[in-house]
Amino acid sequence: MKLGMLTGDPGALRRIADIGYDSVSFSTGPGRPLDAGRPETVEEAVREARRLGLEVTALGFYGNPLVPDAEERKKQVDYWHKLLDLASELEVGVVTGFPGRGEAGSVRDLIDDFGETFGPIAEKAEGLGLKIAFENFRGGGFFTPADWEAVFGKVPSPALGLEFDPSHLLLQFIDPIPLIYEFGERIYHVHAKDTEILKDELQRFGIYGKEGWGRFRIPGLGELDWRAFFRALLDVGFEGGVSVEHEDPVLSGDRFWEGARWGHNFLRCFIPK
């Protein structure tokens, strides 16, 4: 395994390397600092990461390729193809993102559209020797094991898998550990992020009465048993990238890099150099 950070900012690479991370995964998108439509932006970032000794474990596009608008859907599908081509050229083996949900609640509600959209994308990824890892996030339409089963059943390509993020499962009171064993062969990338349940808020307002009874935290500051988490990853033979996705509201702003150091130092005992 490689311990890294997710970033869309190429200017952050020196700080990530100086902290001691092994790797980086990049978030890209149309009009963003890293944009596969302007391939030189991604090429330069990958080149700089490698110069600093950081392995690039994934290139990501976190869009909504099942949007109802046909023109916008085509733009997003075209972007997926550009990113796959770029990942192949740069020898980055994993492309991450969302399957999309259009305006529905889940990709399951649009599973035929998913098949029509991602069947050719998966076929292309297979031909290029790449893996596609979908993050299990509600906004991406792919947040429960039922969604995962529907996606893998509709497009039964070994190119499709998971970017496994335990924090989104904890927010649903779903235990991530058994799912690692169940879907282990489909885990191609990992987001390291914790969830803190604010039990006083939950006790007072319930799960429906108020937003904000759960919040994302740097690994080690939430509810996850990280020892059991990494034991499970080791048991299933996972050897890919583990990227800290830093969305901690406490260690944010001027304390952002304090959070990045905390995440590195906490996780290093599970992923030794």
Whether residue 164 contacts residue 127, with contact meaning beta carbons closer than 8 Å, is answered with no
pLDDT at 269 over 80: yes
How far apart are alpha carbons 156 and 160 in whole angstroms?
8
What pLDDT, on a 0 to 100 scale, did the predictor assign at position 209?
79
Average pLDDT over residues 201-212: 86
The answer to which of 8-22, 43-57, 74-88, 202-216 has the lowest mean pLDDT is 202-216
Structural domains in the chain, sorted by start: 2-267 (3.20.20.150)
- Output the six-digit token pair for 132: 């596609």
pLDDT at 164 over 80: yes
pLDDT band at 212 (very low <50, low <70, confident <90, very high): confident
Whether residue 192 contacts residue 243, with contact meaning beta carbons closer than 8 Å, is answered with yes
pTM check: above 0.95? yes
Average pLDDT over residues 66-78: 97
How far apart are alpha carbons 25 and 46 in whole angstroms?
10
Q: What is the mean pLDDT of the chain?
A: 97
Q: Which letter does DSSP use for residue 173 in this model?
A: T
**Can you name the residues that pair with 216 across neighbouring β-strands?**
195
Burial 193-219 (b: 16+ CB within 10 A, else e): bbbbeeeebeeeeeeeeeeebbbbbbb
What pLDDT, on a 0 to 100 scale, did the predictor assign at position 72?
96
% of the chain exceeding 90 in pLDDT: 97
| DSSP symbols for 85-152 | HHHHHHT--EEEE----TTSSSGGGGHHHHHHHHHHHHHHHHHHT-EEEEE--GGGT--SHHHHHHHH
Which of these, 86, 88, 95, lies nearest to 162 by C-alpha position?
A: 95
Average pLDDT over residues 2-29: 98
pLDDT band at 210 (very low <50, low <70, confident <90, very high): confident
Written as one letter, the residue type at 173 is: F
pLDDT at 272 over 80: yes
What pLDDT, on a 0 to 100 scale, did the predictor assign at position 84?
98
Question: 108-133, pLDDT tens digit by residue?
Answer: 999 999 999 999 999 999 999 999 99
pLDDT band at 188 (very low <50, low <70, confident <90, very high): very high
pLDDT band at 34 (very low <50, low <70, confident <90, very high): very high
- Output the six-digit token pair for 160: 């499709």
